[in-house]
Structure 1
Amino acid sequence: MKRSILSKPTFVIGLLLPLFMMSQDFQGKAYYFSKSKMELGSFGATMSEAQKKQIAERLKNRLEQTYILTFNKEGSTFKEDEKVDAYSGATDTWGKNFTPGVQYKNVKTKSLLQKQDFYGKQFLVKDKLLEIDWKIGKETKKIGNYLSIKATAVIPSKDLNWYDFSWGQLQNTDDEGEEKEEPMTEVTAWYTPQIPLNQGPLEYWGLPGLILEVNVGNTTMLCSKIVMNPDEKTNIKIPEKGKEVTKAEYQEIISNKMVEMRNNRTRGRRSN
């Protein structure tokens, strides 16, 4: 039986969902669209609107992305849909080094497995699910046909972006050698209790309902469609291949590699 959640009356869905979730083979898919605003900082002030538009078109693959969350009562996989670059006709291979790979979350064991490819090497990141101290508010809104409730949290930035890299991460001490205050990120999520699963996209989970929208900084991730018990069953495949590391170990590998590449470029310029 196939149910498209965001295009069917919520009254009917509300009646059927408890029956779906009693089934041992209960399964669903949620489709998310992520969009980020382009930030050019002070450099953007020197550019014309035409130049900004051209850059936005070239960066569209990084600013706009689509994902699929496949879930059952305990586990889920989250992965990005591959897109072809409109200019080069190829996928954004360089950017893929710093984006989330196929992710598996098990809310029963509170464990995470995530496959990461970094400059041709495969890693299997094995760690605990992120502990999020959600504050559930009273504000509600409709997402599609679903009543959604607002929740907020403040999370260490490094826990959300551990697969990414910035030079600022290496500058974690001030001039006197003291540790700087850890950067924090404010997160706003909207979840629906009409789908009583504590799953969600990326690192986000732990609310009493499926997370349909997440707002973090200049990025919004919105669920556009949900299909319950699709006709074609999809096995939730747990990532297996790759060197097993923790999040902290993976971040160290990235940082060391980027420093090595910078040093190699510096030595190359000096020798010319």
Structure 2
Amino acid sequence: MKNYLLKISTLILLLFTISLNAQDFQGKATYFSKTTLDIDFSASGIPADRVKMMKERMKSNLEKTYQFTFNKTASLYKQEAQLNQASGPGGGRGGMRMMMMGGGASGNYYKNIQTKKSTKENEFSGKNFLVKDDLVTYNWQMEQETKMIGNYLCFKATTTIERQARPEMKFGRRSPEEREAEEKKAKELENVMEVITVTAWYTLDIPVSNGPGDYWGLPGLILEVDAGETKILCTKIVLNPKEQVTISEPTKGKEVTQKEYDTIVEEKTKEMRERFQNERQKSGRGGFRG
């Protein structure tokens, strides 16, 4: 049944692609991304109302909206601008800033599913980078389950990905022995990989083999992704909008591969963490542990 569904889906995609060759096809989609972090505040000694406020600020940093512009071969994925909340309650010098690191792009994220190449605009530590690499290849397993997302009938597909294991996050004061144990555990996890299941929902009504973020490779536009703590959902689609947007590859920034960029981020983050820990030890204060 799965092989039959895959053959039918591929045939539909082929027929649709042929029909698109005679027209200038483009689409725009809006995606909402939400990441959940489980942080232990029990040992922080922070008042409940303050903890609630901090969680609200974290929530605003972990919920994002993206605009996705695509045609039959290429796409641009970019986060919508958000208001800077540093001056709000709990912000400023005493507030907590969430720095999201890893493979995501802070600027335009360009994918070309024909050449199987990607280019990401990233700003990190005051420098602009152009991260160029091959697209991630996913071993999608086609499922029989379906559901409606908006007006679109969607089919389920799953795959697995590897990522670095993440230590438990705590906020608050700990004894020197507890901090040492946490640091030892974090060190042990640096080279430990964990496998998570990714579930995607795609629609054959828009047979473009693309989707939000890194995701692509199914016989239809991916409208929803569930990957560990992160869920991405398409909330709006406009096909062939009146105002066309040029989908071109970004060109500004120092060119690096994803592996090179990850190394740069890892080294700089380690440097910042060590400096923070030294300052914390000198002052005798607790702090955010990741």
Which moved further from structure 2: 80-89 or 226-235? 80-89
Of the three residues 91, 100, 107, the one matched with 2:105 is 100
2:263, 2:133 → 1: CA distance?
Answer: 15
- The more displaced of 92-101 and 259-268 is 92-101
| The one of 196, 202, 227 aligned to 1:185 | 196
- Partner SS for 2:61: helix
Residue in 2 that maps onto 1:25: 24
- What amino acid does structure 2 have at the position aligned with 1:239? P
Structure 1: distance between partners of 2:220 and 2:71: 13
Contact 2:58 2:98 in 1 (8 A): no
Q: CA deviation at 1:170?
A: 7.7
Structure 1 unaligned segments of length 5 or more: list them: 1-16, 159-166
Q: What's the counterpart of residue 209 of structure 1?
A: 220
Q: Distance in 2 between matches of 1:93 and 1:271?
A: 20
- Local SS of the residue matching 1:171: helix
Q: Which amino acid aligns with 1:77?
A: L
Q: Take 1:219 and 1:97, find their aligned partners in 2: how far apart are those partners?
A: 13
Change (3 A) 1:85 1:173: closer
Mapped contact 1:61–1:85 kept (Cα < 8 A): no
Q: Per-residue displacement from partner, 1:193-247 (whole Å, max 9, x unpaired)? A: 1110110001100000000000112221110110111111111131111111111
Alignment correspondent of 1:55: 54
Separation in 1, partners of 2:213, 2:261: 17
Deviation string, structure 1 residues 94-151 (Cα, Å, up to 9, x no partner): 6466352221000000001011100110111110000100111011000001000111
Structure 2 CA distance for aligned equivalents of residues 266 and 42 of structure 1: 18
Q: 1:70-91 CA distances to partner (integer Å, 9 max, x unpaired)?
A: 001100010100110356269x
The answer to whether the Cα contact below 8 Å between 1:32 and 1:221 also exists between their aligned partners in 2 is yes
What amino acid sits opposite 2:77 in the alignment? F
**2:269 aligned counterpart, secondary structure:** helix
Does structure 2 conserve the Cα–Cα contact (< 8 Å) formed by 1:97 and 1:119? Answer: no
How far apart, CA to CA, are the structure 2 residues paired with 1:77 and 1:205?
13
Residue 182 of structure 2 is aligned to residue 171 of structure 1: no
Q: Describe the SS at the equivalent of 1:231.
A: coil
Residues 217 and 233 of structure 1: CA distance in aligned 2, closer, same or farther (over 3 Å): same
The DSSP-based 3-state class of the residue aligned with 2:263 is: helix
Q: Which residue of 1 aligns with 2:117?
A: 111
SS at match of 1:104: strand
2:67 corresponds in structure 1 to: 68
In the alignment, structure 2 segments of 5+ residues that lack a partner are 1-15, 165-182, 284-290
2:142 equivalent in structure 1: 136
- Candidates 222, 236, 239, aligned match of 1:228: 239
C-alpha separation in 1, matches of 2:141 and 2:277: 47
CA contact (8 A) 2:17 2:72 kept: no
Deviations 1:4-59 (A, max 9, x none): xxxxxxxxxxxxx7797344421111100112334223648987764553223212
Q: Which residue of 2 aligns with 1:242?
A: 253
Shift in CA distance, 141/118, structure 1 to aligned 2, threshold 3 Å: same
**Residue 173 of structure 1: CA displacement?**
6.9
CA contact (8 A) 1:122 1:243 kept: yes
Partners of 1:27 and 1:76 lie apart in 2 by 9
Q: 1:168 to 1:220 in 2, by over 3 A?
A: farther
**In 2, distance between residues paired with 1:131 and 1:44?**
42
TM-score by length of structure 2 reads 0.73
Q: Identify the residue that residue 151 of structure 2 maps to in structure 1.
A: 145
TM-score by length of 1: 0.77
Change (3 A) 1:97 1:143: closer
Runs of 4+ in 1 over 6 A off after TM superposition: 17-20, 44-49, 167-170, 269-272
Shift in CA distance, 169/20, structure 1 to aligned 2, threshold 3 Å? farther
Distance in 2 (CA, whole Å) between partners of 1:122 and 1:193 is: 37
The percentage of counterpart residues that share the same residue type is 42
Q: Is the 8 A contact 2:122 2:130 kept in 1?
A: yes
| Structure 1 pair 103–266 and aligned structure 2 pair: CA distance change class (3 A) | same
